[in-house]
């Protein structure tokens, strides 16, 4: 099953998420949003998990509150931006 991650929010956070998420193909959306496409849901969840750890390693220990993700790796939050996984048929 194909999957898509949509990045929305403010410019700085959107580009930080885009820079750290690996993807197969990318499509630009409106208002600096992005749509990233994956061959499987597992690949998309792995990209979210790896991006979370990558961004967290770049942050100072006092700034860990600006990044979070849910337990099933379907949503990643950074500052005022969000990367959310959608399953496609």
What confidence score (pLDDT) does residue 63 get? 87
* Alpha helices by DSSP H, 1-89: 11-20, 41-58
Helix 41-58 to helix 11-20 angle (10° resolution) is: 110
Query: Which of 40, 46, 56, 51 has its CA nearest to residue 88?
Result: 40
8-58 residue pLDDT tens: 999 999 999 999 999 999 999 999 999 999 999 999 999 999 999 999 999
What confidence score (pLDDT) does residue 8 get? 97
Task: Please list, in sequence order, all residues whose beta carbon lies within 8 angstroms of the beta carbon of residue 41, skipping any fewer than 6 positions away.
Answer: 1, 3, 85, 87
Q: What is the pTM of this model?
A: 0.92
Reported confidence tier of residue 1, pLDDT bands at 50, 70, 90: confident
What confidence score (pLDDT) does residue 69 get? 95
Q: How many domains does the chain have?
A: 1
51-89 residue pLDDT tens: 999 999 999 888 889 999 999 999 999 999 999 999 875
What is the domain range of residue 14? Answer: 3-87
């Amino acid at each position: 099953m194909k999957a898509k991650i949509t990045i929305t929010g403010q410019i700085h956070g959107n580009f930080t998420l885009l820079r750290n998420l690996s993807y197969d193909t990318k499509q630009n959306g409106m208002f600096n949003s992005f749509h990233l496409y994956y061959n499987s849901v597992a690949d998309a969840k792995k990209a979210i998990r790896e991006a979370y750890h990558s961004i967290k390693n770049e942050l100072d220990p006092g700034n860990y509150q600006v990044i979070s993700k849910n337990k099933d790796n379907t949503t990643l939050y950074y500052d005022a931006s969000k990367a959310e996984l959608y399953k496609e048929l």
